[in-house]
């Protein structure tokens, strides 16, 4: 599997902004800015995900409302574009809509498409692709490389089972690049994104025996008592 390099940022709306107003601003107000960034920087693709407002089964209300992902041809391009505050010129935070007091959650990462159904491209071809985003932390006794290797070489086999036996359409795994953004420690070690056709598919998956099977294997590489972020979102390609 070949990685794709990206920058990831989680954002929280201000408490006095409704989810509907935030969604409209997040997706529409920056359209011209997005097109300019695609034309003038090494950014190759912009993905914006915004929470649906539904709480993921077994989870709590998420501490963030949206996620920005910028894709690059190389790790060097990602660093050159995002480090040293250079990204702010193209993707600044609007304090009228974004809670700038929330802790910064951003990092450079590499992404792997772990598996998908044969018709995934068709199912996920439109706007507002439905998914669950979940952050994870590596087990304390594992290095970042050990965490990554276990996921790619072992946990991936169970993800194949999930694709075959559940409504999950696609699974994407993301790994933080240690010290990848200005030498800072990433806010978390990995992220899983599970794509679905419908909200009912999410519910049927999480009331099956699939989650228990996955959690059992996660004990081998995930710090299970760490506070993970999990939220249901719609995904849009910007620009």
Measured between alpha carbons, how far is residue 200 from residues 177, 187, 197, 203, 205 in Å? Answer: 34, 31, 8, 5, 9
- pLDDT score at 239: 77
Contact predicate 13/22, CB 8 Å: yes
* Domains parsed from the chain with CATH numbers: 4-238 (3.30.70.100)
What's the pLDDT tens digit per position in 88-97? Answer: 888 888 888 9
Task: Report pTM.
Answer: 0.94
Q: Per-residue pLDDT for the chain (239 aa), expressed as one digit of tens each? A: 788 999 999 999 999 999 999 999 888 888 888 999 999 999 999 999 999 987 665 556 778 899 999 999 999 999 999 998 888 888 888 888 999 888 879 999 999 999 999 999 999 999 999 999 999 999 999 999 999 999 999 999 999 999 999 999 999 999 999 988 999 999 999 999 999 999 999 999 999 999 999 999 999 999 999 988 889 999 999 97
Of 133, 126, 143, the residue nearest 197 (C-alpha): 126
Average pLDDT, the chain: 92
Task: Choose among 184, 236, 152: nearest CA to 79.
Answer: 184
Sign of CA dihedral 80, 83, 86, 87: positive
What pLDDT digit, counting tens, does each position of 152-166 carry? 999 999 999 999 999
Residues 6+ apart with CB under 8 A from 120: 169, 170, 195
| Nearest-angstrom CA–CA distance, 75 and 180 | 9
Q: Exposed (0-12), middle (13-18) or buried (19+): which is 2, by Cβ within 10 Å?
A: exposed
């Amino acid at each position: 599997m070949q990685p794709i390099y990206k920058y990831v940022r989680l954002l929280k709306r201000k408490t006095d902004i409704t989810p509907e107003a935030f969604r409209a601003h997040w997706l529409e107000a920056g359209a011209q800015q997005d097109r300019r960034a695609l034309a003038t920087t090494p950014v190759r693709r912009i993905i914006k995900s915004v929470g649906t407002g539904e709480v993921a089964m077994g989870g709590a209300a998420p501490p963030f409302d949206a996620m920005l992902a910028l894709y690059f041809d190389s790790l060097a391009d990602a660093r050159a574009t995002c480090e040293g505050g250079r990204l702010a010129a193209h993707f600044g935070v609007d304090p009228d809509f974004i809670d700038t007091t929330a802790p910064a959650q951003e990092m450079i990462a590499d992404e792997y498409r772990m598996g998908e159904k044969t018709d995934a491209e068709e199912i996920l071809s439109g706007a507002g692709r439905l998914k669950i985003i979940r952050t994870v932390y590596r087990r304390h006794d594992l290095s970042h490389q050990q965490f990554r290797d276990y996921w790619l070489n072992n946990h991936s086999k169970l993800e194949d089972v999930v694709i075959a036996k559940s409504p999950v359409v696609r699974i994407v795994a993301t790994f933080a690049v240690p010290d990848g953004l200005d030498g800072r420690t990433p806010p978390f070690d990995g992220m899983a994104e599970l794509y679905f056709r419908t909200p009912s598919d999410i519910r049927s998956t999480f009331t099956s025996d699939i989650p228990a099977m996955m959690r059992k294997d996660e004990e081998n590489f995930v710090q299970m008592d760490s506070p993970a972020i999990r939220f249901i979102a719609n995904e849009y390609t910007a620009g």
